[in-house]
Amino acid sequence: MSKSTNRRVQVFLQLGLFTGVLLFVNILSNARFSGKPLYAQFDLTEEKRFTLTPGSRELLRNLDDVVFVNVLLEGSFPAGFKRLQDATREVLDDFRSESGYLEYEFEDPSDGTMEEVNARREELKKDNILPINLRVKENDGSSEQLIYPYAICYYKGRSIAVNLLENEIPGVAPEIILNNAVRLLEYKFSSAIQKLRDGHKPVIAFTTGHGELTGLETADFEKTLRQYYDTGRIHLDSLVAISQDASLLVVAKPRLPFSEKDKFKLDQYVMHGGKILWLIDKIRVDLDSLQGRKEYFPTEYELNLEDLFFNYGVRIEPNLVLDMQCSSIPLVTGTLGNAPQFDLFSYPYHITATPRTDHPVSKSLNAVNLFYPSTIKWDIGAGMQIKRTPLLESSPNSRFQYLPVGMNFEFLRYDLDPAKFDKGSQTLSVLMEGVFPSMYKNRVSAEMMSGLEQLGTPFKSESAATAMIVVSDGDVVKNKVNFNQEGRPSFLPLGFNEFNKGYYANKDFLINAVEYLMAERGFIEARGKEVKLRLLDSVKARKNKEFYQAQNILVPLMFFGIFAAFFLVLRKRKFAKQNI
């Protein structure tokens, strides 16, 4: 056999070996053992965006049946929106790498004949899945397209729709909204799968009967909650006891006193493991009460809750916290013709509390806008079996005012004096978790005991392990409500400040609080995941367009030429040695 024949045989053997190795690697990369992949991946991104949180991994590994996800995002989209499409596919691929029980497909609801498309849209509308008319600016103009930013998850005959796109926020760039949507993808899919596994939506009840915020004033918060929970309102005075079917109670800015009967119902609800989110205003004051007055003297709300809070280990002080880290309000500074002229002034009673804790409820959050909050003391009752964790605090440049105090806007005419803000950080929200004592131990009246006997519920003097969160501001959950000429209401997004057009993390903080109290703590970490926005400088790209085009063409050719030259040199040396 000649040398040339031997070389050809060697080349064929090497090619066959190389092909076999590729096939073997490909088989391994798609093989699974007990539903788990036999390959590994390394996340080299700075924010670990492709690494699932422990809660999501545990959820996926415990699946016992197929979860099918139908994503309504197939098709060609504008460049900015395509990022959400790609990110959704990446997250689902990460989910599938953890469990062989997850399958997905992308579907275009606008594909087909006009009759088919209209029929499909009507079916989606019945499930409250509505399209958006997306308008995205691009280099050569703008594009407009009807898009369904939804995914429908199916599990054991049940289904749930997931809204992949965050709501439009006034004053916030579309790129930021899309980035926030990408950041929340893991959380949304994990929460949806968890709700499907549970088989029902937990109930969150808002109390009424004590001047609490109305449904319209908490509409945006409840709209977000209703994706995964059932929400409703209960009038405490009309109940014999609070049912444990309510997984969480929200007490949102009461302004009238609680009777002993109502407090007893709340106490026993906690004793049986119930969770409460307290959003409490201690001082009666708001911007409307200050308008048109030279001076206003705020008073305390008489809520009759002091003894209940003290029994649980906290106390809301009758003071107002002021902070140099604050949002702004408009004040009239003059007139132009007959029109008043407004300027914005930093208003230290409207605090922008930036979380400075690693607790899952407030970790990685932006500033939360609080209005006339009070100090929370949580170092009382040291012998109690309760762990207390501050969630929101004012900045170190803070102070407080105890009643009585006269309030007006005159001090805003001058710069804030840092020397007066010397009281350090003040606690504005605290988490309590553990075993709570009943305030009514050895104090149960015959009437209270009779009510419990009617329900067949025993009195409990000590709770099961449970938790509650107190925020010293009721307006933290309140969205702005507007009315049109016909009197029809509409509401602004929760956290949107209409004065400085800023968007604050009020809703994110409250949703995290709800998730934590509902014992779905594994998903809060996914809500707090950070995905950095790395935007292309479109101006620079257009200016240097020819340079980048040439670079993308010539650089690969240059490396190919260097490799070819290096290969030829090695080949010449090899055959030169063989001919010696």
pLDDT tens track for 422-469: 999 999 999 999 999 999 887 777 777 776 777 677 788 899 899 999
Amino acid at 535: L
Lowest mean per-residue pLDDT among 130-139, 349-358, 508-517:
130-139
Which CATH architecture does the domain made up of 41-191 adopt? Answer: 3-Layer(aba) Sandwich (3.40)
The encoded tokens of residue 564 equal: 């070819």
pLDDT band at residue 134 under the 50/70/90 scheme: low
Chain mean pLDDT for the chain: 83
Exposed / middle / buried, residue 94 (Cβ in 10 Å: 0-12, 13-18, 19+):
buried
pLDDT band at residue 174 under the 50/70/90 scheme: low
Q: 496 in helix, strand or coil? A: strand
For residue 540, pLDDT over 70 is answered with no
Q: Residue 33 in contact with residue 113, Cβ under 8 Å?
A: no
Find tokens 């080299």 and name the residue: 44
Amino acid at 392: L
Exposed / middle / buried, residue 543 (Cβ in 10 Å: 0-12, 13-18, 19+):
exposed
Find tokens 């926005």 and name the residue: 533
Q: Residue 429 in contact with residue 472, Cβ under 8 Å?
A: yes
For residue 68, pLDDT over 80 is answered with yes
Give a three-class secondary structure readout of 114-133.
Answer: HHHHHHHHHHHHHCCCCCEE
Phi then psi for residue 308, to 5 deg, are -65, -45
Length of the chain: 580
Exposed / middle / buried, residue 294 (Cβ in 10 Å: 0-12, 13-18, 19+):
exposed
User: What's the CA gap between 247 and 204, in Å, rounded?
Assistant: 6
Higher-pLDDT residue of 215 and 2 is: 215
DSSP string computed for 150-216: EEEEEETTEEEEEE-SPPP-TTS-HHHHHHHHHHTHHHHHHHHHHHHHH-SPPEEEEEESSSPPPTT
Instruction: Tell how far CA 83 is from the center of its chain.
Output: 20
Element (H, E) at 249: strand 246-252
Higher-pLDDT residue of 282 and 549 is: 282
pLDDT band at residue 35 under the 50/70/90 scheme: very low
Cβ of 286: how many Cβ atoms within 10 Å? Answer: 14
Higher-pLDDT residue of 375 and 100 is: 375
Q: Residue 368 in contact with residue 353, Cβ under 8 Å?
A: yes
Lowest mean per-residue pLDDT among 362-371, 401-410, 557-566:
557-566
Exposed / middle / buried, residue 281 (Cβ in 10 Å: 0-12, 13-18, 19+):
buried
Residue 549 contacts by C-beta under 8 Å, 6 or more apart in sequence? none
User: What is the pTM (predicted TM-score) of this model?
Assistant: 0.77
Higher-pLDDT residue of 252 and 7 is: 252
User: What are the extents of the domains in the chain?
Assistant: 8-36, 41-191, 203-517
Nearest to 60 by CA among 157, 186, 225, 199: 186
pLDDT of residue 445: 74
DSSP string computed for 199-235: -SPPEEEEEESSSPPPTTTTHHHHHHHTTTSEEEEEE
User: What's the CA gap between 102 and 59, in Å, rounded?
Assistant: 11
Long-range contacts of 572-580 (CB under 8 A, 24+ apart): 578/3
Residues 185-215 pLDDT 10s: 888 898 889 888 887 788 999 999 999 999 9
Q: What is the mean pLDDT of residues 473-487?
A: 90
Give me the helix-helix angle, 185-198 and 54-61, nearest 10°. 40
pLDDT > 70: percent of the chain: 80
Give me the helix-helix angle, 260-271 and 446-455, nearest 10°. 50
Which of 74-83, 91-100, 271-280 ranks highest by mean pLDDT?
A: 271-280
pLDDT band at residue 227 under the 50/70/90 scheme: confident
pLDDT band at residue 103 under the 50/70/90 scheme: very high
pLDDT of residue 464: 87
Nearest to 170 by CA among 482, 438, 426: 482
Lowest mean per-residue pLDDT among 135-139, 240-244, 325-329:
135-139
Nearest to 531 by CA among 55, 190, 177: 177
Q: 545 in helix, strand or coil? A: helix
Q: 34 in helix, strand or coil? A: coil
pLDDT band at residue 249 under the 50/70/90 scheme: very high
User: What's the CA gap between 265 and 491, in Å, rounded?
Assistant: 33
pLDDT of residue 536: 54
Nearest to 189 by CA among 277, 67, 36: 67
Residue 245 contacts by C-beta under 8 Å, 6 or more apart in sequence? 203
Element (H, E) at 247: strand 246-252
Q: What is the mean pLDDT of residues 477-484?
A: 91
Nearest to 206 by CA among 256, 248, 176: 248
The encoded tokens of residue 369 equal: 């806008």
